[in-house]
Amino acid sequence: MIGSSDRLSAGLYLIATPIGTARDITLRALDILRDADVLLAEDTRNLRKLMEIHGIPVGGRRLWTYHDHNGAAVRPKILELVAEGHSVAFASDAGMPMIADPGFDLARAMTERGLMVTTAPGPSAPTVALALSGLPTDRFLFAGFLPPAASARDRVLAELEAAPATLVFFETAKRCVPMLHGLLARLGDREAAICRELTKKFEEVRRGTISALIEGCESDPPRGELVVVVDRRRDSVSSEDMETALRQALATMGVKDAAAFVAEGYGVKKRDAYQMALRLSDEG
């Protein structure tokens, strides 16, 4: 535990920050922000505001900007500070550092020099959206922002088309409809969700097929930064194969567990597997 009288060990501390509600930050993250020798942020104004909300003074500590454009110049200074025994806290603008945020090169350089890198984990928009989407969470692939150009976007989607996982993307409101059309053309009319204003007052999750989401966005365009979650590909499974698998599962499992097991294995909806398992169980 990091207490008020503890001095942080030399190293880089990756601090997750709230994606909306300021109180979502962890107590450990606040401890580190209070005790670190040096503070880094993609935008120092955002970090100052967060620290003010929680009553943590910057004091006389160094508060530096670190982003993709100045990273090459700032990195050597940070490495030297840590090597000299200082603790450095790096806070993202929102969410976990290095998840669509700068900092990867810094963390890698730290580990290459044998210097400590650790994290105070916390909110992350991809996992929040995944939890709210209503889509399978057992396996997912975060793909960040798709290219805005249609041809480049389609090339990326072609690589993801057969991925046996729920797909998670970031997108802007302005590019949302073209992106959805690209998804529909390449992936088909899968189940999906659009999540916006996560953890904020006007949080909204739109669920449905991709075609239905396109229709909704054209009539009522979403605003702000979005997370788009798309179901994995569902290969067609014959009812005979599913019935055979369910009979085998029911020999050692209850109806609910057997249905969940077969649904996961065949990539079908749990509801469909459960209804068939219930029927087979009633038949004895």
The pLDDT tens digits for 190-224 are: 999 999 999 999 999 999 999 999 999 999 999 98
Give me 80's structure tokens: 């030297």
Residue 237: what pLDDT?
65
Residue 262 has pLDDT above 50, yes or no: yes
**Model confidence over 110-169: pLDDT tens digits?**
999 999 999 999 999 999 999 999 999 989 999 999 999 999 999 999 999 989 899 999
Q: Which of 47-56, 240-249, 273-282 has the highest mean pLDDT?
A: 47-56
d(CA 90, CA 47): 10
> Greater confidence, 4 or 43?
43
* Whole-Å CA distances, 186 to 128, 189, 232: 26, 9, 13
E strand or H helix at 245: helix 239-250
Mean pLDDT computed over every residue of the chain = 91
**Cα 15 from chain centroid?**
15
The average pLDDT across 29-50 equals 96
Residue 2 has pLDDT above 50, yes or no: no
d(CA 235, CA 34): 52
Helix, strand, coil proportions of the chain in percent (round to 5)? 45, 20, 35
Residue 239: what pLDDT?
80
d(CA 169, CA 135): 14
Residue 170 has pLDDT above 60, yes or no: yes
Residue 76 has pLDDT above 80, yes or no: yes
d(CA 38, CA 61): 6
Of the CA atoms within 13 Å of residue 130, those in its CB half-sphere come to: 19
